[in-house]
Structure formats: structure tokens, C-alpha cells
Amino acid sequence: MLIWLIIVPVIAAALIGLLKAPGRATALVSAAFTLIMGVWAFIQTTFFPEVDINCWSTVGDKELWFSLESPLSRIMLLLSVIVTFAAILGMKAPDKNAERSWAISSLLLSTGAIGAFVSDNIISFYAFHELALIPTFVMIGFYGRGNRRTVAWTATVYLGLASMVLLAGLLMLCSEMRSYTFSGIRMAVESGVVPSACLVPGLLLAGFGTLVSLFPFHAWAAPAYASAPTPIAMLHAGVLKKFGLYGLFTLAYVMGPVCKDFFGCWNNLLLVLLLGNVLWVGYVTVAQTRLDDMLGNSSVMHMGYIFLAFAVYVASNGNNELAIKGAAMLMLAHGLTIALLFLLTGQIESQTRTLELDSMGGLASRLPGLGFMFALAGLASIGLPLLANFAGEFTVFVSCFSGWQPGAAAATTGCDALSSIYNWLEGGLTGIWLIGPVFGWVFDGITATLNAISGWFGGLGAVQIATLFALWGLVISAIYMLRAFRRVFEGNVGLASERATGLTAADKCSAIFLAFFIVLFGVAPFLIFIS
């Protein structure tokens, strides 16, 4: 039955595009359908384990490439349908034609995301994600804000190259494991096939990493989100970007006991890079002067925590249940929160005609409802307890220390892995003048620093040290988010805020709809953790 989640939005898009059906209404019907279907699928597969879930992966007597066997798939499906519905409900296009294009793009984007999340084989998993890049490209280039074309090209080149690198990695992995399905890879691992390390996981991390805006490859993300029309920003930042993390976690999950052998050699480098996400991009976020730029950067920054969970999961060799659950919770929570924030930003812009933080102020006295929602989303984003992000972040940070005991540190083993990459790189790069030695210095430096820090902290492991640094990110988020709230909503009523007239019912509904789930999963995180 999962096929209907793919087909219905495509039919709706075709109706809008080819037969000139009304854009928003048709899309809304389709989104409502996928919402009901997706929530139903989630509830049935999660809370009624005795029900046969095969009905989801077949149509008639034909077997589909889709399945909901992995808990992560169900959670991401839930996220996709919720955000899609909210994005389409809150969509405000400048005119009728634009509305049609926006609706088609949103539908295709969400189809791509849903298809990728429910695929149980590498080919359609990859293909559906690629599909979603087209509407993103067209929409940013045509309806974006600011320097839209450059931004769209940058994003396309980054994502296009990353996808190809990813494809190479995935195919090499599949060829090694002799299977193109996730379950096939798991079976291969169980039958004793050990995938070779270094190159393939490196390609996968670089490919997936770029798609998720991992630190040195993140330059495309913030400008693209800032520039994209609201529904596209919501869907891309909220849903589609999780594709990379979903892929990494799913692969690590199916590899189980060999995931450390596979991804392990990159783990320490990954720890450094994710600190780049949390700290470097965090400080960059603080320095932004526009609300949309700030949110774009903050979304890049928060990916660091989820990568941290991934590093923990790999370091524990797939034994750390808490890490993967926390990551799933955080992906869901971050998707909902950032979607809500982008939605509210769109509404703020339509009210004030500006997003420059300096020219705003006092909007809460005009539109208290909007102010409340923004405060809720902002506080969720910085991890206030009883909101969904808190459950995710807290679990991730706890998982970093689960199983760790004072004194029994593993810092040196981590650093051994680092030196093995160095050896490999040196071997691979022999003959390339300068690059080999430079990598050598960098890696020696990282190793020495980690050893030194490990000494100071009484033998913490690399993961734990990284966690201590990453915790500082919570403070950084609080700084920029609260400051943005103060500048936009409090203080004297700015010139821009005087233009504010009021929100429509659809605006309010879509925001309340997202906020409802943020609160729901914050108060009752077991709904997610159970799966």
C-alpha cells in the first residue's frame, strides 16, 4: 500500500501541472491523504506488532521495493507526511501560476523524500532522493529571495557532485556485499562478509555528509534555505536533508557488528568535523544579521548533534541502542522545529516585508500569536524540556556516556584508527607533492591534541571529549535564538512591524499543527522510542 504514498502526490502534481487543477487545494487533498496514510502506517507498524506488515510492501500480488520494516523508516515517514501537510497548508504563493509551481514542487519533493525513506533497496533509495533535487533547483532559481540563481547553482553543483560520489560508494558497497537491498546487506554481514574499510565508507561519508551539510561541505546549505520559498525550505531543511543521516544510520544498523570495522576508521575525523558543525557554524550563526540566514545556519549547526549520535553508534559497534533512538528522535524533532521556524519566518516576512533583524522589533505587541509560536519553536530548537528536541538531544548526549567508565578509557584506540587513516592516506597520496606531508601534520596534530585532552580529563574517550565540546553548542543556540526573538518580537515597535496586519486562519492552522506535534513528542517521547 506504500505505493499510494508515492502515486497519489504524483497524480496530484500531474493534475495541477497538466490539467490546470487549482494548485493549493489539490495539493492539500493529496497531502491530507498522505498524512492519514502515513500516520496510520506508523501507528499500525509501531503499536500493533502482531499485525502483518507485509500488506504495506505489496500491491496486489506484486512485491514492491518498499517496506516499513526498519523503525527508522517509519519515523522518517511520519516526519515527511507531517511536514508536507504543514508546508502545503501554510503555502502562500505570490500568484496563481506561482501557486501551481509551488504546489507541484512541494508534492514532488515530498514524494522523493517519502520514496527514499521507505525504500528497502539502494537503487530506489538513491533514485527518489535524486528526484527531489529537481524541484529544489527550479524553485530556488525561480522564486527564491536575494541572489537566487547563484545560490541555486551552488546547491545543484554541491548536491549533484555529492550524489555521484555517494552513488559510487553505494555501488561499491553493494557489489562487495553482493546485494542491493538493505536486508541483503544484513544477511551478507551475518554470513560473515566483512566490507573493506577506508575508501567505501569514506565515499559514503563524503556523499551523505555533503547532503546533510557536514562541516567542510556545508557552504551550499544556509544560503539555499535562506533563499528558498517557504514550503521548499521547510521540506528541504526539515525532511529531505535527513536523507543523508537516515542513510548512514540505516547502513550502520544493517551492518550491526561490523559497522565499526566499516565506518570506524573515519570516526575520529568525523568527530572533528561535527565539532566544526556545532562550534564553527554555531559562531557563524551568531553573527548573522538576517533571520533567514540565521535559521539556515542554525539548521546546519544542529546536524552536528546527529552526527555525534552516529559517531557514538559506530564507536559502540552498533550496540548503543540509545544513540540510534536519540538520533531518530532528534531528526524528527529537528525536522518539525526547523519547518515551523521557516514557516513562521515566511509569515514574518509577509507581514513586515523584511527579514533584517535590525529593522524589526516589537512584532509581538502586534501579533502576539505569532510571537508565542516563534518563542515555542525557538525554545524547542534550543532544547527546552517537554519539547521534542529536548528528548532527542538529551538522549544523544546521554548515549555518548553510556557504557563509559572512568579510567577504562579508549582514547588511544580511537587515535589508532586515526593513524591508520593517515597511513592509508600517505600510502594513497605518495607522489603527490606536499599533500601527503600536510595530511600527516594535520593528523598528527589531531592525534596529539586528543591524547593530550584525554590525559587532562582523566582518560575520556574521543567520543566523550567531542561531546564535552558539543555541549557548548547548546549555549550558542540559546544565544542566537533568544537574541533573534528579542530583536524581532520585543522592544519598541519597529518601522517594519507597523506594517503587520494579521495572519490568516491557514497560517495559524499550519503553525499550530506543527507545534502540536513538537509538544506531543516532547511530552510523550515514548511514542517514538517504542519503535
All 3 cell numbers of residue 229? Answer: 520559498
Shortest Cβ 107–other proteins spacing (Å): 13
Angular region, 490: left φ>0, alpha ψ -120 to 50, beta rest: beta
165 binds other proteins (CB under 8 A): yes
The mark string for 131-150 relative to other proteins (x by CB under 8 A, - otherwise) is x--x--xx--xx------x-
The mark string for 80-119 relative to other proteins (x by CB under 8 A, - otherwise) is -----------------x-----------------x----
The full DSSP string for 268-312 is HHHHHHHHIIIIIHHHHHHT--BHHHHHHHHHHHHHHHHHHHHHH
CB 258: neighbour CB atoms within 10 A?
A: 20
Q: Which residue among 164, 386, 438, 530 contacts other proteins (CB under 8 A)? A: 164
Q: Which is nearer to other proteins, 150 or 413 (CB)?
A: 150
Segment 217 to 256, residues that bind other proteins, using CB under 8 A = none
How many residues touch other proteins (CB under 8 A)?
38
69 binds other proteins (CB under 8 A): no
474 binds other proteins (CB under 8 A): no
Q: CB burial class (10 A; 0-12, 13-18, 19+) of residue 448?
A: exposed
Q: Which is nearer to other proteins, 63 or 321 (CB)?
A: 63
Shortest Cβ 70–other proteins spacing (Å): 17
d(C-alpha 406, C-alpha 297), whole Å: 36
Long-range CB contacts for residues 251-255, cutoff 8 Å, separation at least 24:
251/173, 251/182, 251/185, 251/204, 252/310, 252/313, 252/314, 252/318, 252/324, 253/70, 253/72, 253/318, 253/324, 254/182, 254/183, 254/185, 254/186, 254/189, 255/185, 255/186, 255/189, 255/195, 255/318
Q: Which is nearer to other proteins, 153 or 280 (CB)?
A: 153
Q: Which residue among 25, 43, 157, 287 contacts other proteins (CB under 8 A)? A: 157
Q: CA quadruple 296, 226, 245, 528: dihedral positive or negative?
A: positive
Shortest Cβ 92–other proteins spacing (Å): 20
Stretch that binds other proteins, among 155-163, 188-196, 266-274, 405-413 (CB under 8 A): 155-163
6 binds other proteins (CB under 8 A): yes
20 three-class SS: coil
Q: Which is nearer to other proteins, 134 or 506 (CB)?
A: 134
54 binds other proteins (CB under 8 A): no
Q: Which is nearer to other proteins, 166 or 222 (CB)?
A: 166
Q: Which residue among 50, 52, 61, 62 contacts other proteins (CB under 8 A)? A: 62
**β-pair partners for 144:** none
Q: CB burial class (10 A; 0-12, 13-18, 19+) of residue 187?
A: middle
Interface residues with other proteins (CB under 8 A)? Answer: 3, 6, 17-18, 62-66, 97, 115, 123-124, 126-131, 134, 137-138, 141-142, 149, 156-157, 160-161, 163-165, 167-168, 171-172, 174-175
